């Protein structure tokens, strides 16, 4: 019985057109094949993106030298047999256009093209080099997992899957960028995360009009609803345990191929002052640490401006003995207080920037030794008063207690702005600056979640649940209501212990 062949083309894939598209791409490998049934085909892959062992031993060898396609005398029959499972491979896809074939090649697949029917079968054979899972570098771990996200998307999604073994965990993948086609995974738990929030996030990435998506700043520009505020509107983390904990609360996670950090949204201001280790300690200790961070953040922001305002315009607020001590220590200093504070703040920022740009082993030494040497030399030479050095040192050190680096950077900018306002009007203009900062925070809403909730937006309900303080696990029954989860109850067991 003769085999019936269909001469009508299945698609528009052409080796010639693909060669033209890959012209001057020396890493594109084209290999001519003749199947055991006598059908001519061409295998194409990108060198360095695929595993050579997988390509040659499990894909090309069975097609060219095996007997699996011996009864296929035409390209259409060969394609049908491959798709029916004659060539065993974990994932294969039928491509009927050059664009589709090119996308599979650039994603780490090998395409076997049958020119006579204009079709290609793409086999997944990813084998590019990637960094191994290691310990987090920007988030210290005291009591928790030592694993951190890496640059490979599938490794990161696997780290999440290992911790949430439920089919309700959904990972929706979107391609963003006309040139880069970067894969972005939207991670959430169906039945817990708010559907409208998930839909808004997916729509925002799908409608993103950009050439490429390669940096964290580009991700944030797509996610952020208000682009003209310095306050961060998403939480970033490189720790899978923190990522999973946020997803279990009803938030949505974003994993980007090529970035070792992930994003969590929606958040509020209080989330930025929480650390992953808060959930590893006793709830009393965690609450004390959180209150301490609020105090440190306020001191870092307001202390320099308050010092300038009081010493320049409101000396009557200073106790007599302290005022006499400050006046005696300032004898011989050539600059007014506001200039001393401004110069010290700028010098502190320069030292921080230098420490970040230098190699890690040298950077920390430069930051610490530089601050000590410069500060002591300035006091000895009567260029700066000791009080200014103490105020700037306390302000800088307390700023390091803020867990989120983006929030800490915003505080540094606002700190300089408040000093400038205090220079021109004392406590009156300083208070005006604080009101403007508070107004900016109150006007931020992240996917329906007020930035200052639950302090604002819910009349303070929930302030003593898991925001300013942390309750014991045995009494923590509800998820954060300000993010409007579909299932607000955690379903904790009654007999669990802290």
- Where in 47-199 does DSSP place strands (E)? 92-95, 109-114, 119-124, 169-176, 182-189
Quick one: which H or E segment has residue 256? strand 252-256
Nearest Cα to 302, choosing from 411, 388, 402, 410? 411
CA distance linking residue 274 with residue 28, whole number of Å: 48
Around Cβ 28, how many Cβ atoms within 10 Å?
Answer: 17
CA atoms within 13 A on the CB side of 286: 23
CA distance linking residue 298 with residue 383, whole number of Å: 28
ω into residue 241 within 30 of 0, thus cis? no
Find residue 183's DSSP bridge partners: 175
Quick one: which H or E segment has residue 274? none
Return the axis-axis angle of helices 360-380 and 386-399, rounded to nearest 10°: 160
CA 63 to chain centre: 43
What is the DSSP code (8-state) at residue 450?
E
Find residue 95's DSSP bridge partners: 120
Rounded to the nearest 5°, which phi and psi values hold at 119?
A: -130, 160
Rounded to the nearest 5°, which phi and psi values hold at 72?
A: -95, 110
The terminus-to-terminus CA distance of the chain in angstroms comes to 75
Q: Locate the domains of the chain by residue range.
A: 15-124, 153-265, 283-446
Return the axis-axis angle of helices 360-380 and 337-357, rounded to nearest 10°: 160
pLDDT in tens, the chain (498 residues): 334 444 444 678 889 999 888 887 788 899 898 888 888 899 999 988 888 888 888 888 888 887 888 888 888 888 888 888 888 877 889 999 998 999 899 888 999 999 888 999 999 888 877 788 888 888 888 788 889 999 889 899 999 999 999 999 999 999 998 888 899 999 999 999 999 999 999 999 999 888 888 888 888 889 888 888 999 999 999 999 999 999 999 999 999 998 999 999 999 998 999 988 888 888 888 889 999 999 999 999 999 999 999 998 888 888 888 888 777 777 777 788 889 899 888 888 887 887 777 776 666 666 666 666 677 777 777 777 888 888 988 998 899 899 999 999 999 999 999 999 999 989 999 999 999 999 999 999 999 888 988 877 665 566 677 788 888 877 777 888 888 888 888 764 444 443
CA distance linking residue 244 with residue 251, whole number of Å: 9
- Burial letters 30-41, b for 16+ CB under 10 A, else e: eeebebbbebeb
pLDDT score recorded for residue 170: 94
CA distance linking residue 145 with residue 162, whole number of Å: 13
- Longest distance between any two alpha carbons in the chain, whole Å: 112
Quick one: which H or E segment has residue 13? none
CA distance linking residue 136 with residue 128, whole number of Å: 23
> What residue has token string 């030794």?
369
């Amino acid at each position: 019985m003769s085999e019936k062949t269909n001469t009508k083309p299945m698609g528009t894939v052409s080796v010639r057109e693909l060669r033209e598209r890959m012209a001057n791409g020396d890493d594109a490998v084209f290999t001519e094949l003749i199947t055991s049934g006598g059908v001519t085909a061409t295998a194409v892959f990108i060198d360095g993106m695929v595993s050579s062992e997988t390509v040659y031993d499990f894909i090309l060898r069975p097609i060219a030298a095996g007997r699996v396609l011996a009864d296929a005398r035409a390209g259409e029959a060969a394609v049908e047999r491959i798709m029916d499972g004659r060539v065993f491979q974990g994932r294969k896809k039928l491509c009927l256009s050059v664009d589709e074939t090119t996308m599979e090649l650039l994603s780490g697949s090998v395409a076997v093209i049958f020119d006579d029917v204009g079709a290609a079968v793409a086999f997944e054979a990813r084998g590019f080099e990637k960094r191994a899972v290691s310990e987090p570098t920007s988030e210290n771990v005291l009591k928790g997992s030592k694993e951190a996200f890496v640059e490979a998307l599938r490794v990161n999604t696997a780290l999440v899957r290992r911790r949430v073994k439920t089919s309700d965990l959904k990972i929706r993948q979107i391609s963003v960028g006309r040139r880069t086609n970067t894969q972005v995974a939207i991670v959430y738990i169906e039945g817990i995360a708010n559907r409208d929030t998930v839909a808004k996030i997916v729509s925002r990435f799908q409608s993103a009009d950009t050439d490429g998506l390669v940096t964290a700043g580009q991700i944030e520009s797509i996610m952020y609803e208000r682009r003209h505020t310095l306050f961060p509107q998403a939480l970033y983390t490189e720790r899978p345990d923190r990522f999973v904990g946020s997803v279990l609360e009803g938030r949505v996670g974003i994993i980007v191929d090529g970035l070792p950090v992930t994003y969590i949204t929606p958040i509020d201001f209080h989330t930025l002052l929480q650390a992953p280790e808060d959930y590893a300690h006793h709830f009393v200790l965690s609450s004390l640490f959180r209150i301490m961070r609020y105090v440190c953040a306020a001191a870092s922001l307001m202390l320099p401006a308050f010092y300038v305002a009081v010493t320049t315009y409101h000396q009557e607020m200073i106790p007599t003995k302290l005022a006499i001590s400050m006046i005696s220590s300032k004898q011989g200093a050539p600059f007014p207080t506001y200039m001393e504070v401004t110069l010290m703040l700028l010098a502190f920022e320069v030292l921080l920037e230098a420490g970040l740009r230098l190699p890690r082993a040298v950077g920390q030494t430069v930051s610490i030794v530089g601050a000590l040497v410069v500060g002591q030399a300035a006091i000895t030479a009567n260029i700066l008063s000791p009080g200014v050095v103490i105020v700037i040192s306390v302000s800088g050190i307390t700023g390091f207690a803020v867990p989120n680096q983006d929030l800490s950077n915003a505080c540094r900018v606002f700190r300089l702005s408040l000093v400038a306002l205090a220079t021109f009007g004392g406590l009156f203009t300083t208070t005006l600056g604080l009101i403007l900062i508070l107004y900016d925070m109150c006007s931020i809403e992240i996917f329906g979640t007020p930035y200052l909730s639950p302090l604002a937006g819910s009349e303070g309900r929930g302030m003593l649940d898991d925001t300013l303080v942390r309750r014991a696990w045995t009494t923590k029954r509800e998820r954060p209501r300000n993010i409007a989860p579909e299932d607000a109850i955690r379903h904790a067991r009654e007999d669990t212990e802290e």
